[in-house]
Structure 1
Amino acid sequence: MSTPPPPSQPPSGGFGAPQDPPPGGFGKPEEQPPGGFGGPPPVPPAMPAGPPPPPPAQPPTAQPPTVPAGQPAGQPSGQPAYGYPPQQQQPYGYPQQPQPVTTPMYAAQSPAVPAGGGGGGGGNEVRTQLMIVGAALLAIALIVGGGLWYVSGDDKGSGNQPVAEGSASPGTGGDKAPGGGGTEKVPAKTKSKTLVNVPMPDSAEIVQIPGSWLTDTTYAKSDMGKVVGYNLTDGSKKWEIPLGANVCGASRWASDNKTAILFDEALPTPEKKYQPCNQVGVIDLEAGKLLWKANAKSQTGGDKPINLSEVTVSGQTVAAGSLSGGAAWNLADGKVLWSAKTDADRCADLGYAGGPALAVIRRCGQSPNYVLSAQSLDPVTGAPKGSYKLPAGLDFAQIVSSKPLIVAANVNDTAKNATGISDLFVLDDGGQLKARIPLTSGNYSPDCGATEVEDCTHMVVGNGKIYMPTEEHKGTSESGRTNEIVSFDLETGKLTTDRADAGERHTVFPMRMDGSNLIVYKVPPYDGGGQIVSVDGKTMKQTVLMQNPATKESQRAETQYVPNAAEYRYGNGKLFIARDAVHSKSSVSTDPYYNFVSFTTG
């Protein structure tokens, strides 16, 4: 991520300069060097010049949930029931990744989430302070990805307007066969092979490259100064869009085979090393063209473009925002639809979440007495259709899903295990609270960031439920680690009896819905390959769609990415795993570093 120059926009491109808060906020796992989970500690990549990074953070001990006596399975309590056998209820102690900068998600989601430069203008104080803290921690901005977002031009909105397709962490809607079993079929051969692995460009600075999209024919990925499309048939380069600047934010959604990105004003130069992130553009993922670009002006006057930190797509609307304000444009031609206004109550839009609907987190007042509201918006006019006031004491909140509207927050800083979430708020179309889902037990492992609105990962909405992974815990073997996917009912807020086990020495997280089925990724152990599995939404029966190779070369390529700090895209027998930032390569490790790796069963 590149950021504007001081004083009002602290730089974030390298050690010794203040860092933008990553999509998931500070204190999130750094991208893991080759070696994978569950194996011997790999040699970390070399860091850019500067003081040594902080040591890996050890998460607090967490106990797997137990079922209180006399309580039926699936009923919430202080320790929700997962149905673990007694011998599996061991303290959590699996080492986490170094804590310099993200995921969280997600960011993945994180995410999220894909953050750009710090906001410009008078609303930068909080963000600037976070940047400085990040520099002190030597945070490496590895942004959230996670999940899969499909691209479709199907007319699923009113007025024949394409709806942003997708479902991932976070996400909802976009299922190709709502209520059905989905469209992902078991291939003739589930054992995969490498499609194409694209090397990571070397860079002395940390440079963000957020954004991955998968269509029926193309995989598109941000790269340094450009976006590149690859043919799904053989992995060859299909097109390239030179931007003359680095990408600093990306929508996780696409509509009508189009998506939105944020990019800097220009490429860094020796005289201006930290460029402002103030450009928004729409790219055609099939044709490989930048259709238009624009910027947003400050609401306090003047023609200087404001810095933007996140962008999203919903139907025919592109919405981008930051602490300095935001605006919305028509997806097709870039015409301005509306601009976020700061009113007499010092209210401002923190950021937007897209997909099947458009929603916003709006903040009013002054620190430390902010009042936050979650609102569903008319994507054409920006007018609120419903509003819910969140609990007092929050500075930020995230939107997990825009339809149904689900908000994540860390109420009174009660989130455990660095998830960033203490509670989920499920709202109806009018902004009324339907259910509040507490996650303060620490038994669950979704992930939300600190400041960006669309920055949660490893949560998927479908079948009237929200699915998420449990915290890792001891398996049946002496050293094995594992976890499960469970769900909460969105009407009652209660834990259901759903459970999909990762299996011994594997961990699992949900990627997206496929009709009523759930597409999940199984993180491999140090001596095996990962899996893509379809989970039946009714029976929770698992069907393997892809089994990746267990060879040393393939396994180390696949596991050089931290699951909640990378972009995972799967569809029609193709899996892509990509990084969100590039950095200098290790002078010790001989393993290659990749921008992305991919697998195919075809």
Structure 2
Amino acid sequence: MTDQPPPQDQPPTPPVPPGNPQPQYGYPQAPPPPAPPQPGYGYPTAPQHPYAQQPGYGYPAQPVTVVAGSGGDTRRGENRTIALIILAAVVAIGLIIGSGVWYAGSSHGGGGTAGPGGGKNGTATVTGGKEKVPANPAADVLFKVPQPKTEDPSVPTAGSWLSGRVYAKSGIAEIIGYDPADGTKKWTLKFPGPVCAATERVTADGRTGIVYQPSMPTKTSRPGCTQVAAIDVRAGTELWSKSIGTGEFATQFRNVTVSGNTVAVGGSDGGAAWDIGTGKVLWQPKPGDGCSDAGYGGGPKLVAVRKCGTYGNRTLSIQNVDPTSGKVISEYKMGAGIEYAGIVSTDPLVVGADAGHSASGGSGVSDYFSIDNRTGRLLARIPVSGDAYEGECDTISQVEECKGVVAGDGKLYLATKERNEKKAHGSTNEVVAFDLATGKQTGQRAAAGDSFALFPLRMDGGNLIAYKKPPYDKGGQIVSVDGASFRSTTLMELPAAGADRDLQTDFQPGYSEYRYTQGKFFMAEPNVGKPIGSFDKDRNLFVAFGTRD
């Protein structure tokens, strides 16, 4: 997921909402900035409706010290110990990198040119990727599922997985598996409470992890997110369910991920991990310790965001850890004053953080840090402006929730903010690339095209998969951007007419769960709520699209 062009003029900086720091277990809490109200059940959730403003998080900046891990530290299992992390030294705030404009030609008016194999969208072969280019990219609505009814203003429905011949989606206190071709229900898993946290990570054989509440909230009781479970998405079975502690003393977790055969969870009280197949505990928090894992990034590597000290006097480390033993392979120490970080990717290792209270545009990120996950050495620091780029990270609670930014194949891909162009009929943008080794722009740009807006989703080998948000009179698109040539190949064209097009506008980039693979595309809600008006009463939990070939 080169030479750097000179900075361009930037739009005015809007005011940034206050941050929402979380207290750390077992330590006196310095008075935090005023926190915005949280929806739903007492933990952060994505906004229910599009266009909601996300808070930015800022802290004083200082320089960075790089420390390669010795490999001696481990997470705490039943008999493991946790080493204290040393205080780090200082970092300077970087320059804001602007973005220019570059357009690729397209027969669809949206920047979707032929791929490197030549020919139009039906005959191109995408180099370095597994996604098949359809003979006809036109897509239809396959099926849709309405939102479950609730009287609560916000209920989490976190989790959306596409594995094998199953698409699975969380509802209220349940997960249902569907046939991705026609929506036939294959299985249903019931839970005593809502699924509060999920990861899109799925093992090769279709297993993943979730966090859920032990009971349904009431007017007088709102139980925490204390239960961790592993599920088999393809078979529709719960493999195990665990917690750390019981009842009111159970540890609460805010994020979950999967790496190898490990389910790892984190929160303000620390991190824990289990074997995904057996449920055997691999490590767990040590109450009263000065250091804890706030959360993890998963996938090809397992990376911990490890914090030491209390709010206002905290140090942060990014640790590449062995997913089975918890042993530290390498470590990078963030600069003093950086209290939170979000993980964009674990391989290559890229994190986003706010230095010096300088993050703008509600992004929560002022800089991206490219780190060698073998040695812990800082490769590059990439300063960005939230007023110029769309990428953002939930650095406080979700850790792995970075959206609109993707790293892979030696590059960091960022979408620029939408802007009006003289020759365009509406706003547009492009995706630009930064070299992860140097931190400089590569000079490569993929333009969205007239009135479209590109939003990076994930890597496909050496290629970038992105969603193109449409103008009022067209359907959206899924495109593959070749990592070498930066030419775009259209993989899917969503319906442009009537109600089918309107379905797409209910699921806005950055606030929805998008899953695409091999001609199937799912747009889903991470939380639902009581309708707030007549226009809102017929919203869907998710909608499925598919190409015709």
Question: Which bin holds the TM-score, normalised by the shorter protein?
Answer: 0.7 to 0.9
Output the CA distance in 1 between the equivalents of 2:535 and 2:18. 20
2:394 matched residue in structure 1: 449
- Deviation of 1:91 (Å): 4.4
Contact 1:318 1:328 in 2 (8 A): yes
Contact 1:426 1:433 in 2 (8 A): yes
Contact 2:474 2:496 in 1 (8 A): yes
Aligned partner of residue 430 in structure 1, secondary structure: coil
Pick one of 534, 537, 541 that aligns with 1:595.
Answer: 541
Pick one of 441, 462, 466 that aligns with 2:408.
Answer: 462
Aligned partner of residue 467 in structure 1, secondary structure: strand
1:61 matched residue in structure 2: none
Matched, 1:283 2:231: yes
1:437 matched residue in structure 2: 382
Change in CA separation of 1:504 and 1:312 when aligned onto 2, cut-off 3 Å: same
Change in CA separation of 1:505 and 1:295 when aligned onto 2, cut-off 3 Å: same
Aligned partner of residue 325 in structure 2, secondary structure: coil
- Deviation of 1:423 (Å): 0.7
- Deviation of 1:314 (Å): 0.3
Deviations 1:539-595 (A, max 9, x none): 111111111111120111111122101000001111100011111114331772000
Output the CA distance in 1 between the equivalents of 2:446 and 2:36. 41
Change in CA separation of 1:422 and 1:555 when aligned onto 2, cut-off 3 Å: same
Output the CA distance in 2 between the equivalents of 1:257 and 1:139. 28
2:513 matched residue in structure 1: 567
Deviations 1:247-286 (A, max 9, x none): 01002211131000000011224553x1221000011010
1:184 matched residue in structure 2: 131
1:321 matched residue in structure 2: 266
> Pairwise mapping of residues 377-388 of structure 1 onto structure 2 (< 5 A)?
377-388=321-332
Output the CA distance in 1 between the equivalents of 2:325 and 2:465. 35
- Deviation of 1:342 (Å): 5.9
What letter corresponds to residue 237 of structure 2 in structure 1? K
> Pairwise mapping of residues 112-511 of structure 1 onto structure 2 (< 5 A)?
122=26, 133-134=37-38, 141-142=45-46, 180-205=127-152, 206-255=154-203, 256-269=205-218, 272=221, 274-297=222-245, 304-341=249-286, 346-428=290-372, 429-440=374-385, 442-452=387-397, 453-477=399-423, 480-511=426-457
Matched, 1:578 2:527: no
Output the CA distance in 2 between the equivalents of 1:550 and 1:127. 51
Output the CA distance in 1 between the equivalents of 2:19 and 2:451. 26
Matched, 1:75 2:4: yes
Output the CA distance in 2 between the equivalents of 1:527 and 1:101. 38
- Deviation of 1:144 (Å): 10
What letter corresponds to residue 419 of structure 2 in structure 1? H
Output the CA distance in 2 between the equivalents of 1:303 and 1:213. 31
Output the CA distance in 1 between the equivalents of 2:432 and 2:420. 17
- Deviation of 1:405 (Å): 1.7
Listed as ranges, the gaps of 5+ residues in structure 2 are 51-125
Output the CA distance in 2 between the equivalents of 1:477 and 1:500. 17
2:101 matched residue in structure 1: none
Q: TM-score of the superposition, structure 2-length normalised? A: 0.78
Change in CA separation of 1:508 and 1:478 when aligned onto 2, cut-off 3 Å: closer
Change in CA separation of 1:142 and 1:553 when aligned onto 2, cut-off 3 Å: same
Change in CA separation of 1:281 and 1:120 when aligned onto 2, cut-off 3 Å: farther
Output the CA distance in 2 between the equivalents of 1:144 and 1:406. 28
Contact 2:160 2:524 in 1 (8 A): yes
Contact 1:399 1:406 in 2 (8 A): yes
Change in CA separation of 1:382 and 1:434 when aligned onto 2, cut-off 3 Å: same
Change in CA separation of 1:216 and 1:561 when aligned onto 2, cut-off 3 Å: same
Change in CA separation of 1:197 and 1:420 when aligned onto 2, cut-off 3 Å: same
Contact 2:159 2:169 in 1 (8 A): yes
Aligned residues: percent identity? 40
- Deviation of 1:530 (Å): 0.4
Output the CA distance in 2 between the equivalents of 1:320 and 1:139. 15
Output the CA distance in 1 between the equivalents of 2:291 and 2:459. 35
- Deviation of 1:418 (Å): 1.5
Deviations 1:177-211 (A, max 9, x none): xx952121222221111011100112221101011
Output the CA distance in 1 between the equivalents of 2:31 and 2:503. 35
Contact 2:146 2:540 in 1 (8 A): yes
- Deviation of 1:398 (Å): 1.3
Output the CA distance in 2 between the equivalents of 1:373 and 1:405. 13
- Deviation of 1:531 (Å): 0.4
Output the CA distance in 1 between the equivalents of 2:30 and 2:217. 25
Contact 2:293 2:306 in 1 (8 A): yes
Change in CA separation of 1:405 and 1:584 when aligned onto 2, cut-off 3 Å: same
Aligned partner of residue 589 in structure 1, secondary structure: helix
- Deviation of 1:507 (Å): 0.5
Output the CA distance in 2 between the equivalents of 1:186 and 1:451. 38
Deviations 1:96-116 (A, max 9, x none): 9x99999xxxxxxxxxxxxxx
Aligned partner of residue 290 in structure 1, secondary structure: strand
What letter corresponds to residue 257 of structure 1 in structure 2? G
Deviations 1:395-430 (A, max 9, x none): 211111112221211000111222111111111111
Contact 1:119 1:127 in 2 (8 A): no
Range that drifts further, 571-580 or 289-298: 289-298
> Pairwise mapping of residues 537-576 of structure 1 onto structure 2 (< 5 A)?
537-576=483-522
Contact 2:23 2:311 in 1 (8 A): no
Output the CA distance in 1 between the equivalents of 2:368 and 2:380. 8
- Deviation of 1:318 (Å): 0.7
How many pairs were matched up? 466
Contact 1:225 1:244 in 2 (8 A): yes
Change in CA separation of 1:441 and 1:198 when aligned onto 2, cut-off 3 Å: closer
What letter corresponds to residue 582 of structure 1 in structure 2? V
Contact 1:448 1:457 in 2 (8 A): yes
C-alpha RMSD of matched pairs (Å) = 3.2
Output the CA distance in 2 between the equivalents of 1:121 and 1:543. 49
- Deviation of 1:495 (Å): 0.5
Aligned partner of residue 150 in structure 2, secondary structure: coil
1:522 matched residue in structure 2: 468
Contact 2:348 2:410 in 1 (8 A): no
Change in CA separation of 1:295 and 1:119 when aligned onto 2, cut-off 3 Å: farther
Output the CA distance in 2 between the equivalents of 1:413 and 1:559. 33
Listed as ranges, the gaps of 5+ residues in structure 1 are 1-72, 81-88, 103-117, 147-178
